[in-house]
């Protein structure tokens, strides 16, 4: 099986079919967990499955992006009180090794109302295209994060973002460069700084590029999980899930 197939099977075993035995066959025993609230190892995951079944949790997978041994899922969890809310949007990243899922990172945030442009946190194109441009698109988005988000060279933003079409799925921001600029100005007026300091992960497949970055929002340590869609050499669409990085976790693996 491909890494993508392995990940989809393990997610089905845990969240859809609730089959610990099937999940056990697909999880490495020394499974490395980065979710702050879940202990590391396969055993805790397997132990949660009966409770997940009882809770009635459901998962909807909107997008699957894979590169090498990494697989990214863009998901919605409902009946998700076990994770802290009725409904949550998430990015889950899995690393596959020797035919088993060996490591997991995620960001979760409550489902919000559509943003000022009417877009939800998950709607929009779902099928990967332009596979031949994967490397080119990955380089563009990596440069965008390094140049604009980390170094703050906003005068170069049109080198990366389309001036004609920029669809925004952040629940607080409207479409276009104008919407992004207005949101950043509003944050500045409130004294809220959004700072990207470290780019930890980039996963690209065709026109989709996912990044996992560390930084701060309003001074609080923050994980930024962003998904970009590229068309014609420019970023034309953006989804994100932003989450605090707690000081204490259920393991010593860190958020990243």
Task: Give per-residue pLDDT as tens, 12-65.
Answer: 999 999 999 999 999 999 999 999 999 999 999 999 999 999 999 999 999 999
pLDDT of residue 246: 97
Q: Is the pLDDT of residue 94 over 90?
A: yes
**Average pLDDT rounded to a whole number, residues 185-192:** 85
Confidence of residue 129 (pLDDT cuts 50, 70, 90): very high
The pLDDT value recorded for residue 188 is 80
In whole angstroms, how far apart are CA 157 and each of 54, 149, 154, 166?
48, 10, 5, 12
The pLDDT value recorded for residue 8 is 98
The band of 241, judged by pLDDT with boundaries at 50, 70 and 90, is very high
Locate tokens 């994060």: which residue?
145
Classify burial at 145, counting beta carbons within 10 Å of its beta carbon; exposed 0-12, middle 13-18, buried 19 or more. Answer: buried
For the cut 90, the answer to whether the pLDDT of residue 118 exceeds it is yes
pLDDT attached to residue 181: 85
- What local confidence, expressed as pLDDT, does residue 256 receive? 98
Note the pLDDT of residue 14: 98
User: 84 or 60: whose pLDDT is higher?
Assistant: 60
As a whole number, mean pLDDT of residues 162-168 equals 97
Residue 77's CB: how many other CB atoms inside 10 A? 23
Output the pLDDT for position 233: 98
Q: Name the helix (H) or strand (E) containing 185.
A: helix 176-189
Q: What is the token pair recorded at 195?
A: 């700072």
At residue 189, the pLDDT reads 85
| pLDDT confidence of residue 192 | 87
The vertex-211 CA angle with 152 and 3, nearest 5°, equals: 165
Q: 220: pLDDT confidence band, cut at 50, 70 and 90?
A: very high
The answer, yes or no, to whether residue 184 has pLDDT greater than 90, is no
The whole-model pTM stands at 0.97
Long-range CB pairs of 19-28 (<8 Å, 24+ gap) are 19/49, 20/46, 20/49, 20/50, 23/49, 26/100, 26/101, 27/100, 27/101, 28/97, 28/98, 28/100, 28/101, 28/102
As a whole number, the mean pLDDT across the chain is: 96
Return the residue matching tokens 């690209």: 204
Q: Which residues contact 41 (CB under 8 A, 6 or more apart)?
A: 29, 30, 31, 33
- Confidence band of 254 (pLDDT split at 50, 70, 90): very high
């Amino acid at each position: 099986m491909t890494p993508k197939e392995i990940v989809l099977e393990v997610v089905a075993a845990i969240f859809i079919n609730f089959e610990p035995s099937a999940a056990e066959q697909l999880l490495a025993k020394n499974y490395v967990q980065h979710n702050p609230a879940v202990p590391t190892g396969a055993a805790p995951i397997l132990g949660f499955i009966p409770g997940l079944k009882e809770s009635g949790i459901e998962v909807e997978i909107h997008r699957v992006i894979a590169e090498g041994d990494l697989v990214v899922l863009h998901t919605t969890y409902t009946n998700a009180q076990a994770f802290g809310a009725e409904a949550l949007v998430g990015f889950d990243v899995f690393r596959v090794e020797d035919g088993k899922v060996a490591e997991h990172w995620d960001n979760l945030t409550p489902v919000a109302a559509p943003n000022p442009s009417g877009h939800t946190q998950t709607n929009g194109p779902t099928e990967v295209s332009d596979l031949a441009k994967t490397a080119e698109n990955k380089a563009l988005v990596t440069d965008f994060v390094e140049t604009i988000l980390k170094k703050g060279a906003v005068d170069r933003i049109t080198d990366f973002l389309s001036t004609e079409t920029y669809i925004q799925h952040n629940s607080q921001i409207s479409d276009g460069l104008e919407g992004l600029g207005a949101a950043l100005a509003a944050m500045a007026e409130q004294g809220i700084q959004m700072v990207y300091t470290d780019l930890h992960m980039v996963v690209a497949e065709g026109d989709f590029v996912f990044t996992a970055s560390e930084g701060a929002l309003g001074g609080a340590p923050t994980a930024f999980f962003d998904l970009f869609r590229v068309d014609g050499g420019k970023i034309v669409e953006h989804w994100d899930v932003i989450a605090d990085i707690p000081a204490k976790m259920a393991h010593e693996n860190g958020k990243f």
